[in-house]
C-alpha cells in the first residue's frame, strides 16, 4: 500500500493534484483531552518503566469497557496493554503457532496477518470472503481448509478492506467450528467503535469471555485518531496472556506510561470529539457509496463499519492494479488495488473515506470522468 503512497507523492512533487484515499489514517487530530492527558503525565514525571502488563488503573478501565461493550468482565490477568494493535497480531501468532502449523486468515484481509505468520515460521492458509455474502465471514468457507496442523483462526469484523460486519449467527457457527477442531481465535476488533447504526456489531469474544480460546484485540489508532501513538489492548485466556506478556517484556519492556494515561483518558473522558468524528465518517461513507453507485460500471456494497469502501470494478475488464494505476495517472486519485489484500480482492479496489467530504466529492467527479473513458466489457 505504501508503494501507491510513494508514487502519489512523487506525482505531487511534480505538481500534480492528488486526492489521497489510499491509506487508513484518520484526517482528524487526536482529541484535545487525550493529548492533554499525555502532557499531564509527562509533566508529572511519568517517564520511567511501568509493569509489563500495563498500569493498573488503565487495565481496570479496560475491564469495565469490555464488560459494557462485550458483556463480560475479564479477570485482571487476562488484560495486556501492548505497543499498538499490530504488534498484538505478531504476539498471538508467535505464542500460539509453531513452524509447520497453520493459521487461517481472511482473503481479502489486512496484509500484516500474512507477514506476521511468515516471520513466525508458520503457514498462512487464506479463507475466502465472497462478494455474494457482502464479504462477511462464513464457517462453510473455513471448515474445508482446517487440517490437523491448523492452530489459529484470525477474524476481523468490522473488516479491512471491505468494511463488512459479520453477523452474530455466523460468528456463533464459527465459534462452534473452533471448539470442534480445538482452534484458537484471534478476533481483530480495531474498528469495533466505527459502526454506523445501520449494522449490528457482535464480538465473538462474548461467547467464551476470552477464557478458553478467543484472543480479543483492540486499539486506539482508528476510532480516536491515534495512529502515531501506538497503543493497543489484548484480552486473552490467562495462560496465553502470560505468554504474550513475557514476549512484550523481552522485546519492549513496557508501554510508555504517558501513552497509557492518554488511553485511559480516551476511554473514560469526554467523548464529544469522538462522536463528531463518527458522525462525519458516516456522512462520508454515504456520500462515497452513493456516488460510486451512480458511476456506470461500478458496484459497491454499503460498508457497515470501519472507513473503507470496496467497489467492484470488474465490468471494465481491468485488473485491480491496472485500474488503480489508471485512476492515479488519469484522475489524480490514489486508491489501493484489491489484490493487495489477497487473491479474492482481485476485481475490487479499496477506497478510504478518512478524508474530507470536499475531497470525496472531487474524487468522485474525477473517478466518474476517468471511468467514462473506459469501455464496459462485462454486465453490471
pLDDT 10s digits, 35-94: 999 999 999 999 999 999 999 999 999 999 999 999 999 999 999 999 999 999 999 999
* pLDDT for the residue numbered 362: 99
Rounded Cα distance between 74 and 330, Å, is 52
Query: pLDDT (tens digit, 9 = 90+) per residue, 142-199?
Result: 999 999 999 999 999 999 999 999 999 999 999 999 999 999 999 999 999 999 977 7
Res. 3 pLDDT band, cuts 50 70 90: confident
Neighbours of 361 (CB within 10 A): 14
pTM of the shown model: 0.96
Q: What is the reported pLDDT for 197?
A: 79
Can you give the pLDDT at residue 198?
73
Q: How far is CA 258 from CA 47, 48, 63, 88, 253, in A?
A: 7, 9, 20, 20, 15
- Domain segments of the chain as ranges: 1-30+272-373, 32-268
Dihedral-angle region of residue 342 (phi above 0 means left; psi in -120 to 50 means alpha; beta otherwise)? left
Residue 191's CB is within 10 A of a number of other CB atoms, namely: 27
Q: Measured between alpha carbons, how far is 20 from 353 in angstroms, rounded to an integer?
A: 9
pLDDT tens-digit map of 283-329: 999 999 999 999 999 999 999 999 999 999 999 999 999 999 999 99
Helix (H, G, I), strand (E, B) or coil at 349: strand
What is the pLDDT averaged over residues 130-151?
98
Residues in contact with 140: Cβ distance below 8 Å, sequence separation at least 6, in sequence order: none
Query: Whose CA is closest to 63, among 234, 246, 254, 272?
Result: 234
d(CA 70, CA 286): 27
Instruction: Quote the pLDDT of residue 380.
Output: 47
CB atoms within 10 A of CB 270: 13
pLDDT tens for residues 218-243? 999 999 999 999 999 999 999 999 99
Helices (H) and strands (E) counted in the chain, each on its own, are 12, 12
CATH number of 1-30+272-373: 3.90.1150.10
Assess whether the region 1-30+272-373 and the region 32-268 belong to the same CATH fold: no
pLDDT band at 1 (very low <50, low <70, confident <90, very high): low
Would you tell me how many other CB atoms lie within 10 Å of the CB of residue 370? 19
Helical ranges in the chain per DSSP H: 2-13, 32-43, 56-70, 85-96, 111-119, 139-142, 168-181, 238-252, 257-268, 272-293, 320-326, 357-371
The domain 32-268: what is its CATH number? 3.40.640.10
Amino acid at each position: 500500500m505504501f508503494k501507491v503512497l510513494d508514487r502519489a507523492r512523487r506525482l505531487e512533487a511534480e505538481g500534480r493534484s492528488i486526492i489521497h484515499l489510499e491509506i487508513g489514517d484518520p484526517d482528524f487530530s487526536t482529541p484535545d483531552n487525550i493529548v492533554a492527558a499525555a502532557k499531564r503525565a509527562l509533566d508529572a514525571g511519568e517517564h520511567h518503566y511501568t509493569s509489563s502488563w500495563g498500569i493498573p488503573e488503565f487495565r481496570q478501565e479496560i475491564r469495565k469497557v469490555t464488560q459494557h461493550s462485550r458483556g463480560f468482565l475479564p479477570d485482571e490477568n487476562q488484560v495486556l496493554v501492548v505497543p499498538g494493535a499490530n504488534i498484538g497480531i505478531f504476539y498471538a501468532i508467535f505464542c500460539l503457532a509453531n513452524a509447520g502449523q497453520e493459521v487461517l486468515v481472511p482473503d481479502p484481509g489486512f496484509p500484516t496477518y500474512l507477514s506476521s505468520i511468515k516471520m513466525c515460521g508458520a503457514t498462512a492458509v487464506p479463507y475466502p470472503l465472497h462478494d455474494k455474502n457482502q464479504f462477511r465471514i462464513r464457517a462453510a468457507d473455513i471448515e474445508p481448509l482446517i487440517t490437523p496442523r491448523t492452530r489459529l483462526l484470525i477474524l476481523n469484523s468490522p473488516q479491512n478492506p471491505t468494511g463488512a460486519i459479520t453477523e452474530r449467527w455466523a460468528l456463533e457457527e464459527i465459534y462452534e467450528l473452533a471448539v470442534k477442531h480445538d482452534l484458537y481465535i484471534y478476533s481483530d476488533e480495531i474498528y469495533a467503535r466505527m459502526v454506523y447504526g445501520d449494522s449490528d456489531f457482535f464480538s465473538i469474544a462474548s461467547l467464551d469471555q476470552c477464557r478458553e480460546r478467543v484472543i480479543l484485540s483492540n486499539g486506539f489508532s482508528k476510532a480516536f485518531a491515534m495512529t502515531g501513538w501506538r497503543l493497543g489492548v489484548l484480552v486473552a485466556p490467562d495462560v496465553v496472556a502470560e505468554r504474550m506478556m513475557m514476549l512484550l517484556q523481552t522485546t519492549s519492556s513496557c508501554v510508555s506510561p504517558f501513552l497509557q494515561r492518554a488511553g485511559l483518558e480516551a476511554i473514560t473522558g469526554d467523548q464529544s470529539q469522538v462522536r463528531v468524528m463518527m458522525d462525519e465518517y458516516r456522512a462520508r461513507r454515504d456520500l462515497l457509496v452513493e456516488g460510486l453507485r451512480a458511476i456506470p460500471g461500478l458496484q459497491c456494497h454499503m460498508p457497515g463499519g470501519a472507513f473503507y469502501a470496496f467497489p467492484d470494478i470488474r465490468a471494465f475488464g481491468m485488473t485491480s492494479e491496472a485500474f488503480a494505476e489508471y485512476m492515479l495517472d488519469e484522475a489524480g486519485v490514489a486508491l489501493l488495488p484489491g489484490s493487495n489484500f489477497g487473491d479474492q480482492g482481485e476485481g475490487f479496489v479499496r477506497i478510504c473515506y478518512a478524508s474530507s467530504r470536499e475531497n470525496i466529492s472531487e474524487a468522485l467527479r474525477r473517478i466518474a470522468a476517468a471511468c467514462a473513458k473506459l469501455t464496459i466489457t462485462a454486465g453490471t
